[in-house]
């Protein structure tokens, strides 16, 4: 499998569209067994579309082949109101570590999303699900200088990678807008709109007592108790009837014997 570059798809978009608005929504859906799907919806404004040559050229300019090679499902760009363009990227995950890899694909190894933590405990009477995630938009950065291939291409084009990285760090503060939406079992949805310049550990939880199972267990227990009482009463009644029958036999007069001549 081709490894996704250190400059993530999200940061790559901001590099290409420095000075324009990029809205990124991350939807993380977790199932009861801890598996799930991460889906990102990225929307860029009309200025960005025109800067890159209009809708047709724009769609061909943004490189997404690395993500496709890494198993991501990538939609086509869709035109929205006001000339915006939107794309969706989705990938399943099997556990916490796999979710961490998918987040690195999107936001980089030390990007705006970090340290995902999953909890999934399911019992007969109760369940608990949780997803924690650090959302850091204090100073979004682009680690260009440590990407040897990209740095080499930039130098060949006459661009200083360190200087570009510093410039983009300023652009990122105003260009990137992040929303995180977590969907947990039980139809629980939690949304966090990250404010520029903040860092927060966003944690979503769901679960509790499964009253449906409690009621079913209570009904089953009551029926079992009633059945036990019925069989017990039936047994007692049968023994009582046998005792009475025996008493009637014992108390019945016996015929006299005729003496033999």
Secondary structure class of 251 (helix, strand, coil):
helix
- DSSP summary character for residue 112: S
What is the pTM for the complete model shown?
Answer: 0.67
Q: Are 97 and 115 in contact (CB under 8 A)?
A: no
Who has greater pLDDT, 76 or 246?
76
Over 80: is that where the pLDDT of 187 sits? no
Determine which of 51-65, 99-113, 242-256 has the lowest per-residue pLDDT on average: 242-256
pLDDT at residue number 3: 43
pLDDT at residue number 2: 42
Over 60: is that where the pLDDT of 113 sits? yes
Secondary structure in 3-state letters for 22-73? EEEEEEEEECCCCCEEEEEEEEECHHHHHHCCCHHHHHHHCCCHHHHHCCCE
Distances (CA, A) of 247 to 26, 233, 238, 243: 84, 21, 14, 6
Q: Look at the alpha carbons of 91, 92, 96, 98 in this order and tell me if their dihedral is positive or negative.
A: negative
Can you read off the two tokens belonging to residue 97? 């570590």
Distances (CA, A) of 102 to 12, 19, 105, 137, 250: 16, 27, 5, 19, 88
pLDDT at residue number 166: 73
| Cross-strand bridge partners of residue 208 | 127
Over 60: is that where the pLDDT of 122 sits? yes
CA 114 to chain centre: 15
pLDDT at residue number 144: 61
């Amino acid at each position: 499998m081709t490894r996704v570059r250190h400059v993530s798809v999200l940061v790559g978009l901001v590099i290409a569209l420095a000075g324009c608005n990029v809205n990124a929504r991350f939807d993380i859906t977790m199932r009861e067994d801890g598996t799930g799907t991460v889906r990102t919806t990225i929307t860029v404004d009309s200025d960005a579309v025109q800067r890159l040559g209009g809708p047709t050229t724009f769609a061909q300019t943004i490189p997404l082949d690395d993500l496709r090679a890494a198993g991501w499902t990538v939609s086509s760009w869709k035109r929205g109101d006001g000339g915006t363009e939107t794309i969706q990227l989705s990938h399943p995950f099997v556990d916490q570590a796999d979710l961490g890899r998918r987040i690195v694909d999107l936001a980089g190894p030390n990007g705006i999303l970090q340290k995902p933590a999953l909890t999934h405990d399911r019992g007969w009477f109760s369940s608990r699900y949780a997803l924690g995630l650090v959302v850091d938009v204090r100073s979004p950065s682009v680690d260009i200088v440590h990407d040897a291939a990209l740095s080499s291409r930039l130098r060949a084009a006459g661009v200083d990678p360190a200087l570009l990285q510093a410039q983009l760090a300023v652009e990122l503060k105003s260009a990137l807008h992040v929303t995180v939406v977590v969907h947990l079992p039980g139809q629980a949805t939690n949304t966090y709109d990250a404010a520029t310049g903040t860092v927060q550990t966003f944690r979503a939880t769901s679960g509790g007592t499964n009253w449906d199972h409690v009621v079913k267990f209570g009904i089953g227990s009551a029926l079992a108790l009633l059945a036990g009482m019925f069989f017990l009463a039936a047994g007692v009644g049968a023994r009582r009837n046998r005792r009475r029958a025996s008493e009637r036999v014992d108390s019945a007069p016996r015929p006299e014997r005729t003496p033999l001549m």
